């Protein structure tokens, strides 16, 4: 089970920067969602500040999982997509069309998929298929997990939206995953429709 973290100021501004703390609004929304978090045998979170803060606000006793860190977008980190597109339109075009490209100097989309897919596959190897795993992970990580689990083409990643504080469930095991996606943990909010795509 994968929970996407609450929004923070950087994501509201559409910045490439998941590694920033939650603001008061994000903490408040995560606390409001705590009662809807399903039980799990094992709980982990991405080591990013936003995931760590969300896990804490949800009341989870979880451990950081390095494989679930946010997508490394290199020198684009902290910038808005509109700014990067204005300054480097060819680089952005290449990044969006070629899954092996990393013009920002960070991870390519294929690298992200390999990292997240390796973690997902390792759950079966560790015997975790006998229990449930709950992870708080950045939207890009959740999207990469879905692409890997369902064996979708890498570029399908760009067609998936993961809203804040939603639950994506993968059941089964490596090679035979089933998907249940997008259940909101918070009801009656407008933030679940404000998705930062990256």
For residues 131-143, average pLDDT: 95
CA distance 58 to 193: 20
pLDDT given for residue 188 in this prediction: 58
pLDDT over 60 at 190, yes or no:
no
> Who contacts 11 (Cβ-Cβ below 8 Å, separation ≥6)?
17, 18, 50, 164, 196
pLDDT given for residue 18 in this prediction: 58
Tens digit of pLDDT for each residue in 90-105? 999 999 999 999 999 9
For residues 69-85, average pLDDT: 93
> Who contacts 79 (Cβ-Cβ below 8 Å, separation ≥6)?
15, 16
Tens digit of pLDDT for each residue in 63-73? 999 999 999 99
Domain ranges of the chain: 2-72+110-193
| pLDDT, the chain, mean | 89
Backbone angles phi, psi at 166, to 5 degrees: -115, 155
CA distance 77 to 74: 6
pLDDT given for residue 191 in this prediction: 45
pLDDT given for residue 10 in this prediction: 82
pLDDT over 50 at 193, yes or no:
no
CA distance 160 to 91: 22
For the domain made up of 2-72+110-193, the CATH class stated in words is: alpha beta
Residue 90 contacts residue 99 (beta carbons within 8 Å): no
pLDDT given for residue 120 in this prediction: 93
pLDDT over 70 at 130, yes or no:
no
For residues 20-28, average pLDDT: 92
For residues 56-79, average pLDDT: 95
pLDDT over 90 at 189, yes or no:
no
Higher pLDDT, 157 or 182: 157
């Amino acid at each position: 089970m994968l929970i996407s973290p609450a929004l923070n100021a950087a994501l509201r501004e559409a910045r490439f920067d998941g590694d920033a703390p939650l603001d008061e609004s994000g903490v408040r929304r995560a606390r409001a969602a705590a009662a809807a978090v399903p039980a799990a045998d094992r709980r982990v979170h991405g080591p990013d500040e936003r995931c760590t803060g969300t896990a804490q606000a949800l009341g989870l006793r979880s451990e950081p999982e390095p494989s679930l860190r946010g997508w490394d977008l290199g020198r684009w980190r902290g910038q808005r997509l509109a700014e990067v597109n204005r300054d480097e339109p060819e680089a952005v075009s290449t990044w969006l069309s070629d899954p092996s490209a990393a013009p920002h100097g960070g991870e390519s989309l294929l690298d992200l998929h390999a990292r997240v897919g390796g973690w997902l596959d390792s759950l079966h190897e560790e015997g975790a298929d006998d229990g449930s795993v709950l992870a708080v992970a950045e939207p890009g990580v959740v999207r990469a997990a879905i692409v890997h689990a369902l064996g979708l083409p890498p570029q399908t990643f760009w067609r998936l939206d993961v809203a804040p504080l939603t639950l994506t469930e993968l059941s089964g095991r490596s090679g035979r995953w089933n998907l249940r996606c997008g259940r909101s943990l918070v009801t009656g909010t407008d933030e679940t429709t404000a998705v930062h795509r990256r």
